[in-house]
Structure 1
Amino acid sequence: MDSNLPPPALKVFLVEDHPTIRERIAELVRSVAGTQVVGMADEPDGACAGIGLTQPDMVVLDLQLKSGTSGLAVLEWLREHAPGIAAIVLTNAIYPQMKAACLELGARLVLDKSSEALRVRDAVRELAHR
């Protein structure tokens, strides 16, 4: 094995329906050395299909998605089809009941989009260094 080879990239898939926020999250992810954004979606069906195709190591998702759909559907899909993928929820719906539901469905972290968004970078960095 060649020790001069760079470590494999940490693959991250983003699920966010607001284009500006989605791009900002992508910038945060890309700011961590050794990461790669492998796909993006704005609703659950596209997210699940994209995750299935790209096999990311991590998914960063919002709960309130396009056309009133919910990121909870993505968490349910991940629990059933890809439980090894780390899920980070970044949302404005940070109610205690919603946070508990996300954690029960397997989210590793649930962050408040308005005050904790920069913690996404820390979570990605931590996973990239494992």
Structure 2
Amino acid sequence: MNQDHSTGAKKSRLFIVDDHPLVRQGLRQLLELEGDLEVCGEADEPIAAIRGIAAERPDLAIVDISLQCGVEGLELIKDIRSRVPDVPVLVVSMHDEFVLAERALRAGAKGYVMKEEAMETVMTAVRKVLRGEYYISDNVGKKLLAGLIHGQMMMENYPMDQLTDRELEVFHLIGQGLGTSQIADKLHLSVKTVETHRAHIKEKLKLEDANRLLQYAIQWVHTDAASSVNGSGPWQGGAGRP
């Protein structure tokens, strides 16, 4: 924390990771309206994020799940927890919390909040994580509790939960229009490995063929994209949910 010499209070230092400049700008401005918070750094991709967080040692890293073309934020959370374990992570993302909140928590995040939420909700999440607590929405909390009670039944109700993090990443890239070779290059995998992931995804989601997989992936990705255009979060620098 830094000392605020005008009041004598300590300021909590925050680091923002998001690949949309307007979101970073809007979030920075609104966070810094709080007298006890300051943004000590920003990054738009995982490598720069790790370097910046390791150098700055902020009190909190605010991370988006979707960086550039994929869901690299999950791996970034794991890297942060491994390399700078004293820095807590709060995910602020456009992606459906029912799909990704539990994954983010398993990866090491301390909280998950949707970008469509009001700034008051985001600030509640920020302050809870700064206090060493966890933050999830009531809906996610109910889902996690139901999962503990009902187990396999919940997996059937939320089939995306059956995908591994890597399978979800492949699925997301399929929805972005990338072919098998392109996905292999991007993720530094062999074509055969990507084909295996595709087969597992089809099996878990009960999709009969590659065309249905492509349609389903595009629909999933574009639903998030539509949400980003229509998002109503007032803190997003006029950019909507990116």
**TM, length-normalised to structure 1:** 0.84
Q: Does 1:77 align with 2:111?
A: no
Q: Which residue of 2 aligns with 1:110?
A: 112
Of residues 34, 58, 77 in structure 2, which corresponds to 1:32? 34
Q: Which has the higher contact order (CA 8 A, sep 6+)?
A: 1
Q: Distance in 1 between matches of 2:115 and 2:40?
A: 22
Q: Distance in 1 between matches of 2:49 and 2:123?
A: 21
> Which shifted more, 26-35 or 41-50?
26-35
Q: Distance in 2 between matches of 1:125 and 1:6?
A: 19
Shift of 1:95: 4.2
Shift of 1:128: 5.9
Q: Distance in 1 between matches of 2:30 and 2:128?
A: 13
Question: Where do 5+ consecutive residues of structure 1 fail to align?
Answer: none
Q: Which residue of 1 aligns with 2:100?
A: 98
Structure with bigger strand share is 1
Q: Distance in 1 between matches of 2:30 and 2:88?
A: 17
3-state DSSP class of the match of 2:50? helix
Q: Distance in 1 between matches of 2:129 and 2:102?
A: 22
Q: Which residue of 2 aligns with 1:7?
A: 9
Structure with bigger helix share is 2
Q: Does 1:20 align with 2:48?
A: no
Q: 1:83 to 1:58 in 2, by over 3 A?
A: same
**TM, length-normalised to structure 2:** 0.47
3-state DSSP class of the match of 1:66? coil
Q: Distance in 1 between matches of 2:105 and 2:114?
A: 14
3-state DSSP class of the match of 2:24? helix
Task: Work out whether residues 90 and 117 of structure 1, in 8 Å CA contact, stay in contact via their aligned partners in 2.
Answer: no
Larger radius of gyration: 2
Task: Work out whether residues 28 and 118 of structure 1, in 8 Å CA contact, stay in contact via their aligned partners in 2.
Answer: no
Q: Distance in 2 between matches of 1:78 and 1:129?
A: 19
3-state DSSP class of the match of 2:108? coil
Number of equivalenced pairs:
127
Counterpart residue identity of residue 43, structure 1:
E
